[in-house]
Structure 1
Amino acid sequence: MKAITRIEQSLALALASGEAPGCPPKLAGAIRHAVFPGGARIRPQLCLAVAQACGQDDPALSEAAAVAIELLHCASLVHDDLPCFDDAQTRRGRASVHWAYGESLAVLAGDALIVLAFQTLAKAAGQSPARLPALLNIVASGVGMPFGIVAGQAWESESRVSLVDYQRAKTGALFVASTCAGALSAGADPDAWRDLGECLGEAYQVADDIRDVMGQADLLGKPVGQDAQHARPNAIANLGLGGAIAHFESLIQAAVDAVPEGASAQEMRALVRQESERLVPRAACNAYRNAGAQAPAAAG
């Protein structure tokens, strides 16, 4: 079974577990709206790919870790779109949760997804209970304080912020959780996979900044120009578009180099390159470079 199929089925089962008779129907609808249809599911796919590379001796635990991370990611998107933050009307190409269901239900849906993530992980630890405490810590660290996605969101309320600190928390932390949780769910050393998560997380945020400036709303699935509108730190402001593209490419190469040697190393490296092409197509990068090379020099 393909990884994406496993993820979608596991997500559906997780949501169904919280929809017993007597559940508020609008809340259940808001939660489903937040999770389905999904995006690329790159975080859970990464988690499962690392687990597979590490032997994946407990598939149920690996799937639960992947699902927990995706539920937490979905929760962060629901909250990120709220009027108090981005006030975004669309997400993943359709109405955001608060736009479709109202602000109060969006807040509750995000909260419920956070709880469901940890419930899902705890329920799946029957075969490998000794791995659960460290898994919970890894996943929680990717979300909470001091360096998780909550901290990343909070940096937007500060008057001064390091771009590296902001991106590492806002995006990178959950990628690190994905690689490390994937390894640990399979009984492997999570630290060996940390660098891969860090490189991919930063690359993903830089790619988001690039597409935000390029105006690729169809790829982002949300309004473009948000960083400029909200005066957020981003790679374009620091490096320019050309510099950001070069930085993205260097991060992808660093991610490829960070894949530990093993039987699945080439497959993992291919996955990184494939995701790179999806995030920022090479053709778009080359078109930008060619346009710059052909531009007339400024008069002296």
Structure 2
Amino acid sequence: MQHTGFEQRLASVAAAVEARLQAVLADAPRPGETERPGRLTAAMRHAVLAGGKRLRPFLVVETARLFGAGEEIDALGAAAALECVHCYSLVHDDLPSMDDDDLRRGQPTVHKAFDEATAILAGDALLTLAFDLMADDAVHPDPGVRLALVRDLARAAGLGGMVGGQMLDLAAEGRFAGGAPLALDADAVKRLQALKTGALIRFACEAGARLAGAGADDRARMVRYGEILGLAFQLADDLLDVIGDAATVGKATAKDAAAGKGTLVSLMGVDAARGTLQSLVTEAGMLLEPYGPAAEVLTATAAFVATRRR
């Protein structure tokens, strides 16, 4: 697939997701809600509508398309739900008690633009809104499918997924009881990243296949594709932390080294990390070969993740 064609598809889905998020974060309460405090709604919009690649929702939409999701399926609704979880995690990761970041996507982080308490509540509200959206009847006519999506999202986002990964990341930095940073080997770093970054990406790929009614073998293939993509995404992110600049990346760089945190890049070096990224792109392409030209977008996605500059 031509690079410009992929970028147009990515931008198109991002715009559709943005419009959906704008709609669900309107000031007017949804059915069953009593009132929406204006400051909280504004903080949520600041967190969610500040741009971004929308990679995770893109993967939901594109995997659903690959397996022929019909018009009765609202993949965009499921995608928006996942993006709410991702954005909540960024709001909380940026807090002073976590990564203490002032900049996100080139804009002040939520706790800087508003205040710390509002940022915490905005993250809480985005997380709960995500499950509201995923459980909506419009997402899929089969309540069993919606229930499976809600369950899988909870597991990808929670104790044994993204939140658990953040806990391991803090421990690796020596953040508890005044401890020193832990010397993690490559396998330990991969396990940490499979939770913190990989779990939601893996969920995105399987969720689209589940929405479209793909069989167990196809879903397993998409899970593996998501695992590869998650590792590639984090490896590229770690490279940007080393060789990128804040103006281009849209957030602070060189933070891993300052925190004494081990990454795959620090363990293997920049050149080897780039080689590993290329190997991951090749493996992703091999996984998608059985689907032929229909999988061109997902093949291009792997290359995009590995070569991104922000």
User: What interval of TM-score do these two structures reach, taking the shorter chain for normalisation?
Assistant: 0.7 to 0.9
Q: 1:3 & 1:59 partners in 2: Cα distance? A: 18
Query: Aligned pairs, how many?
Result: 279
SS in 2 for 1:28: helix
SS in 1 for 2:36: coil
Q: Could you tell me how far 1:126 is from its partner in structure 2?
A: 5.5
In the alignment, structure 1 residue 185 sits paired with structure 2 residue 211: yes
Q: 1:239 & 1:91 partners in 2: Cα distance? A: 28
Picking from 6, 19, 39, the partner of 2:52 is 39
Aligned pairs for 1:20-169 (under 5 A) are 22-58=35-71, 60-123=73-136, 124-125=138-139, 127-146=141-160, 148-159=161-172, 160=182, 161=184, 162-169=188-195
CA RMSD between the two structures: 2.0
Q: Contact 2:13/2:58 (CA < 8 Å) preserved in 1?
A: yes
In the alignment, structure 1 residue 261 sits paired with structure 2 residue 290: yes
Q: 2:28 & 2:58 partners in 1: Cα distance? A: 23
- Structure 2, unaligned stretches of length 5 or more? 1-8, 173-181
Q: Contact 2:244/2:309 (CA < 8 Å) preserved in 1?
A: no
Q: Contact 1:91/1:222 (CA < 8 Å) preserved in 2?
A: yes
In the alignment, structure 1 residue 6 sits paired with structure 2 residue 16: yes
Deviates more, 1:101-110 or 1:245-254: 245-254
Q: Could you tell me how far 1:259 is from its partner in structure 2?
A: 2.0
Letter in 2 for 1:262: Y
Q: Contact 1:39/1:92 (CA < 8 Å) preserved in 2?
A: yes
Q: Could you tell me how far 1:74 is from its partner in structure 2?
A: 0.3
Q: Contact 2:236/2:308 (CA < 8 Å) preserved in 1?
A: no
Deviates more, 1:114-123 or 1:13-22: 13-22
Identity %: 36
Letter in 2 for 1:211: L
- After TM superposition, what 4+ stretches of structure 1 lie above 6 angstroms from structure 2? none
Q: 1:218 & 1:179 partners in 2: Cα distance? A: 30
- Structure 1, unaligned stretches of length 5 or more? 281-300
- Structure 2 length-normalised TM: 0.84
Q: Contact 1:175/1:201 (CA < 8 Å) preserved in 2?
A: yes
Relative to structure 1, is the Cα distance of residues 152 and 143 closer, same or farther in structure 2, using a 3 angstrom cutoff? same
Match of 1:235 in 2: 264
Relative to structure 1, is the Cα distance of residues 60 and 11 closer, same or farther in structure 2, using a 3 angstrom cutoff? farther
- Structure 1 length-normalised TM: 0.87
